[in-house]
Amino acid sequence: DVKVTQSSRYLVKRTGEKVFLECVQDMDHENMFWYRQDPGLGLRLIYFSYDVKMKEKGDIPEGYSVSREKKERFSLILESASTNQTSMYLCASSFGWSGNTIYFGEGSWLTVV
């Protein structure tokens, strides 16, 4: 079974802190994604990566950066956390280009106070 693991399930951070959300997949997938899920808005793509050290902006990249130094690991970075970044963050990976091959992690709940 494909496993996408998000290391932190629940985090509480202060405004202005630097936050790292880590994601690891164990299936040698080329593509990895970070989404955020908010009530009434569904899932929105923040960044994705199709190869090591490659990254592309999604629909809402402002306030975020990413790092992919190894194929299995994709990190989301909030340089200076703000309260409007309180959300559920979902990491995903895929072995193809179509949405039916995407596998999601269990999510990280981030609260910024």
Partner 1 sequence: DQQVKQNSPSLSVQEGRISILNCDYTNSMFDYFLWYKKYPAEGPTFLISISSIKDKNEDGRFTVFLNKSAKHLSLHIVPSQPGDSAVYFCAASEGLDSWGKLQFGAGTQVVVTP
Q: Does 96 bind partner 1 (CB under 8 A)?
A: yes
Q: Does 22 bind partner 1 (CB under 8 A)?
A: no
Q: Does 105 bind partner 1 (CB under 8 A)?
A: yes
**What's the CA gap between 15 and 24, in Å, rounded?**
26
Residue among 56, 65, 80, 82 that touches partner 1 (CB under 8 A): 56
Report which of 86, 66, 63 is spatially closest to residue 20, judged by C-alpha positions.
66
Q: Cα angle at 91 between 105 and 100, to 5 degrees?
A: 75
Which one of the spans 11-19, 62-70, 78-86, 92-100 is the region binding partner 1 (CB under 8 A)? 92-100
Cβ contact 81:13 at 8 Å: yes
Residue among 19, 21, 25, 33 that touches partner 1 (CB under 8 A): 33
Q: Does 52 bind partner 1 (CB under 8 A)?
A: no
